[in-house]
Amino acid sequence: MSTLKYLASLTNNQEFLSRRPRILIVDDQVINIQTLYQIFADDHEVFMATSGQKALEFCRQTPPDLLLLDVMMPDMDGLEVCKRLKQEELTADIPVLFVTAQNDAEEESRALMAGGMDFISKPVNPDVVRARVKTQITLKLQHDLLKQLVFTDPLTGLANRRSFDNSYDKEWRHCQRYSKSVAILMIDIDCFKQYNDHYGHQQGDVCLSAVAACLDANFRRPHDVVARYGGEEFICIMSECELSAAVSKAEALLEAIIAQAIPHITSRVRDIVTLSIGVAATVPGNQQDKAALIAAADEKLYAAKQAGRNQVGA
């Protein structure tokens, strides 16, 4: 699938089209919140916070598409709120529009230096604020789509190799910090060359997508990551997971794929699509190389295939 076609498929997604943009209004004066709420309530999901600390907590839990942020607040001013948002990975991409009664070049400069995208003066002009918010939300949605494109495998919709590398580095450091086990599952579709030779590459793509959807549906913990590793190989990170639990998950995946009953009459294993899975786990130490864990899982995958496929090596 071409880049343009894939981007179009994302923008044509019904959830994308139907979702109303989420705006967080932050002001210690309720009357100012009410004014902005009336401007945006019809076309946006509007949320409110009356302090900088409440705004930070809201953004960390449910990041909005845009902040309308007052500069002058008693507990923590808007400039400090914006700086803190930009320092955190989860909230750094939220566009901030400062709303303030101050209207001078120095104030505007400080707002932009803090990370703000625009500067709106009180009392707000409804047409002006609507236009500026629309511009920033459009840019934000385009950024989100492009980010999804960069980190998503276009065929299966799973995380791609780049996304996996980023997630693995983060989860490795997390488990290292808290002395928790991290597990890797290396997954391969059995006899996939024979599948492509018999059914054709287009049907092979359909098979890959079906297997990917099945794998993805069987991971529900927020820190588990399923990615396409290359060709017919997939890889899974299970953070804070012992080897025994990872093996149980791998065995459940074998059963889940069998339950799909995808025909594969040229397989040397069964007449349906099956998987081989290699599992390895470790508690990361300061001197350990995280690539070694992937290599260990790959060795276990090779052993599972040598032992007859359609099984878990651990």
C-alpha to C-alpha distance for 4 and 161, rounded to whole angstroms: 20
Cα-Cα-Cα-Cα dihedral sign, residues 45, 50, 56, 60: negative
Helix (H) or strand (E) holding 280: strand 275-282
Cα-Cα-Cα-Cα dihedral sign, residues 192, 197, 198, 201: positive
C-alpha to C-alpha distance for 27 and 128, rounded to whole angstroms: 19
DSSP letters of 205-220? HHHHHHHHHHHHHT--
**Cβ atoms of 148 and 10 closer than 8 Å:** yes
Q: Tell me, yes or no, if 240 is annotated catalytic.
A: no
Tokens representing 111 are 């707002």
- Residue showing tokens 């008693």: 74
Tokens representing 113 are 């230096």
Among residues 107, 232, 242, 251, the one annotated as catalytic is 232
Active-site residue list: 232
